[in-house]
């Protein structure tokens, strides 16, 4: 069965065409700068890369080009009708979706109704969904939500101690994100331990440009660091994670910033970038710290200290973790972040093997010392493959 996975952003579409259940990637790529004068698609298939520079006035034009690349001369498909299903990454499913769904008009309406909860993400996700339904009529479309995996959290984990009316009337609560990734790597961790997902507790650290952690008990997320939006929790590339919300009042009143200014400050100018004053890229932060850049060193310290605090919190939530997983760009590739984040946690059950940690980059590895109570694992995440799995499972019944 051939599954097309789409991740539609405001000016981009990331895609992967997979043969399922073989998990074989036939083609993948990124269409960028949609709506700008100069657009570009980078298409990978059969070990080759093809770059097409072309303007895409809208998402429909971009997806048409993607379909043309998949089916054109030397393409991986003969006709677009060979696509058996399309899996869409949808960011916010609110409280309606605790799993993936086959998309119908009611699902589209529900995603639209959740736009106030994810004003930056849900509109482009919807656009991709609507365009795919139009260009591939009759092909089942599946929605896979970033929030769904965390919907099993109990009220004590998802409620903020704000006036309850704000939850009842406006649904202000913790939702959590990166659910597809947390679910995928926690399942994989159980398999690597040789145990059933139902029988293990796993802490998953998704450290990419965005970063979040989840406590997974018996295959279900019971707590997570991101909240109402992806701003809460860990330090990220350009977002601060936790801080006192009174800072926002101060910025609005004493520094006379507008709501838009504060939004930009929190989403684009904080985190590693804000602290270092230079970059949101952990590779450059680490290089800076090595070369005597004090602000880069500080950013690295704050980042890892926050990860450590959350590992403590998630360990308390679970009582004990059988495995701790590092994933995403930073988690998969940075021995420095992993060792700094776990320093001093040996008595809590997390002891690294320094040599294994240093060697683990981008591939699955057990990097724990023999004496470590919890297994410490590096597991590359693959959100697109996870979406393809969900899509395949739903449409094959």
Q: Could you list the residues that contact ligand ADP (CB under 6 A)? A: 208-210, 237, 281-283, 286, 328-330, 333-334
Q: Answer yes or no: are the C-beta atoms of 210 and 234 closer than 8 Å.
A: no
- Cβ of residue 292: shortest distance to ligand ADP, in angstroms? 19
Pairwise CA distance, residues 390 & 348, whole Å: 35
Pairwise CA distance, residues 280 & 260, whole Å: 21
- Cβ of residue 235: shortest distance to ligand ADP, in angstroms? 12
Pairwise CA distance, residues 180 & 147, whole Å: 8
Q: Which is nearer to ligand ADP, 227 or 237 (CB)?
A: 237
- Cβ of residue 276: shortest distance to ligand ADP, in angstroms? 12
Q: Which residue is nearest to ligand ADP (CB)?
A: 329
Centroid of chain to Cα 307: 16
Q: Which is nearer to ligand ADP, 178 or 322 (CB)?
A: 178
Length of the chain: 397
- Cβ of residue 112: shortest distance to ligand ADP, in angstroms? 25
Q: Which is nearer to ligand ADP, 107 or 289 (CB)?
A: 289
Residue whose entry in the numeric block shows the structure tokens 């926050």: 306
Pairwise CA distance, residues 173 & 159, whole Å: 5
- Cβ of residue 69: shortest distance to ligand ADP, in angstroms? 22
Query: What Å distances lie between residue 289 and 295, 309, 385, CA to CA?
Result: 8, 22, 35
Residue whose entry in the numeric block shows the structure tokens 């097309």: 4
Q: Which is nearer to ligand ADP, 65 or 178 (CB)?
A: 178
Q: Answer yes or no: are the C-beta atoms of 173 and 101 closer than 8 Å.
A: no
Q: Which is nearer to ligand ADP, 209 or 267 (CB)?
A: 209
Q: Answer yes or no: are the C-beta atoms of 216 and 203 closer than 8 Å.
A: yes
Among candidate residues 146, 293, 353, 382, the one labeled active-site is: 146
> Could you confirm whether 261 is annotated as catalytic?
no
Tell me the catalytic residues.
146
């Amino acid at each position: 069965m051939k599954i097309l996975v789409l991740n539609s952003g405001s000016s981009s579409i990331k895609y992967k065409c997979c043969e399922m259940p073989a998990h074989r990637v036939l083609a993948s790529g990124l269409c960028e700068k949609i709506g700008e004068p100069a657009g570009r698609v980078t298409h990978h298939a059969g070990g080759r890369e093809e770059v097409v520079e072309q303007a895409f006035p809208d998402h429909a034009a971009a997806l048409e080009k993607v379909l043309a690349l998949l089916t054109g001369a030397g393409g991986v498909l003969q006709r677009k009708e060979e696509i058996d299903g399309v899996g869409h990454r949808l960011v916010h499913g609110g409280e309606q979706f605790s799993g993936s769904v086959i998309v119908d008009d009611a699902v589209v309406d529900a995603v639209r109704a959740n736009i106030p909860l994810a004003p930056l993400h849900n509109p482009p996700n919807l656009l991709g969904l609507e365009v795919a339904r139009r260009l591939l009529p009759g092909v089942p479309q599946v929605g896979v939500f970033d929030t769904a995996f965390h919907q099993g959290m109990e009220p004590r984990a998802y409620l903020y101690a704000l006036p309850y009316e704000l939850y009842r009337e406006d649904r202000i609560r913790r939702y959590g994100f990166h659910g597809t990734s947390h679910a995928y790597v926690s399942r994989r961790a159980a398999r690597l331990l040789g145990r059933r997902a139902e029988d293990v507790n796993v802490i998953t650290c998704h450290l990419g440009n965005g970063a979040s952690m989840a406590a997974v008990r018996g295959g279900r997320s019971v707590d997570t660091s991101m909240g109402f939006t992806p701003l809460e929790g860990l330090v990220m590339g350009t977002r601060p994670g936790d801080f006192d919300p009174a800072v926002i009042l101060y910025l609005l009143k004493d520094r006379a910033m507008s709501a838009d200014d504060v939004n930009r400050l929190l989403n684009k100018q904080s985190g590693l970038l804000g602290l270092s004053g230079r970059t949101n890229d952990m590779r450059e932060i680490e290089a800076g710290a090595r070369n005597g850049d004090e602000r880069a060193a500080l950013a690295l310290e704050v980042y890892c200290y926050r990860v450590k605090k959350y590992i403590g919190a998630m360990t308390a939530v679970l009582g004990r973790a059988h495995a701790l997983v590092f994933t995403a760009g930073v988690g998969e590739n940075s021995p420095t972040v992993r060792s700094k984040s776990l320093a001093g946690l040996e008595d809590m059950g997390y002891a690294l093997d320094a040599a294994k940690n240093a060697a683990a980059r981008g591939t699955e590895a057990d990097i724990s010392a023999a004496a470590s109570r919890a297994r410490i694992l590096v597991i590359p995440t693959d959100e697109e493959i996870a979406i393809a799995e969900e899509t395949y499972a739903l449409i094959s019944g």
